[in-house]
Structure 1
Amino acid sequence: MTAVDEGFAARLRAGTRDEHERAERSVFVEALLGGGLPREAYAGLLAQSYLFYDVLEKAGEAWRGDPVIGDFVIDGLLRRDVLAQDLDFLAGPQWRDALQPLPATRSYVDRLNEVGFTERGAFVAHHYTRYLGDLSGGQVIRRRMQEIYGLSDDGVRFYVFDQVAKPKPFRDHYRALLDGAPWREGERESLVDEANVAFRLNRAVFDDLATEYC
Structure 2
Amino acid sequence: MLDRVESDHIEMAGRSTRPASLLDAMRERTRTLHVTAERTGIVAELLRGRGTRRAYALLLRNLLPVYEALESELLRHEGTRAVGLIVRPELHRSAAIRADLAQLDVAGLPVLPEAIAYVSAIQEAGAGAGHPLLAHAYTRYLGDLSGGQIIKKILARSLDLRPESLSFYEFPDIADLQRFKNDYRNALEQAGAAMVEHGAVVEEAALAFMLNIALSEALQAAAGFGA
Q: Point out the structure with the larger helix share.
A: 1
Post-superposition offset of 1:27: 3.4
Q: Which runs of 5+ in 1 are unaligned?
A: none
Rounded to whole Å, the distance in 1 between the matches of 2:66 and 2:156 is 24
Give the number of equivalent residue pairs. Answer: 209
Deviates more, 1:59-68 or 1:190-199: 59-68
Q: 1:191 aligns with which of 201, 210, 216?
A: 201
Post-superposition offset of 1:171: 1.4
AA aligned to 1:133 is: G
AA aligned to 1:59 is: E
Post-superposition offset of 1:152: 2.4
Counterparts of residues 69-88 of structure 1 (less than 5 Å): 69-88=83-102
Query: Is 1:100 matched with 2:95?
Result: no
**Percent identity between the two aligned chains:** 33
For 1:140-188, what per-residue CA distance to the aligned partner results, in whole angstroms no more than 9, with x for missing partners?
Answer: 00001100111121111100111111122111111211222244332x1
Deviates more, 1:83-92 or 1:127-136: 83-92
Q: 2:175 aligns with which of 145, 165, 172?
A: 165
Rounded to whole Å, the distance in 1 between the matches of 2:130 and 2:99 is 30
Query: Is 1:19 matched with 2:30?
Result: no
Q: 1:2 aligns with which of 12, 15, 30?
A: 15
Q: What is aligned with 1:133?
A: 143
Post-superposition offset of 1:80: 0.2
Post-superposition offset of 1:117: 4.0
Rounded to whole Å, the distance in 2 between the matches of 1:21 and 1:8 is 20
**Aligned partner of residue 164 in structure 2, secondary structure:** coil
Q: Is the 8 A contact 1:77 1:131 kept in 2?
A: yes
Task: Give the alignment's Cα RMSD to 1 decimal.
Answer: 1.8
**Aligned partner of residue 182 in structure 2, secondary structure:** helix
User: After the TM superposition, which parts of structure 1 deviate over 6 Å for at least 4 consecutive aligned residues?
Assistant: none
**Normalising by the residue count of structure 1, what TM-score does the alignment of the two structures yield?**
0.90
**Normalising by the residue count of structure 2, what TM-score does the alignment of the two structures yield?**
0.85
Q: Which runs of 5+ in 2 are unaligned?
A: 1-13
Query: Is 1:142 matched with 2:156?
Result: no
Rounded to whole Å, the distance in 2 between the matches of 1:201 and 1:5 is 24
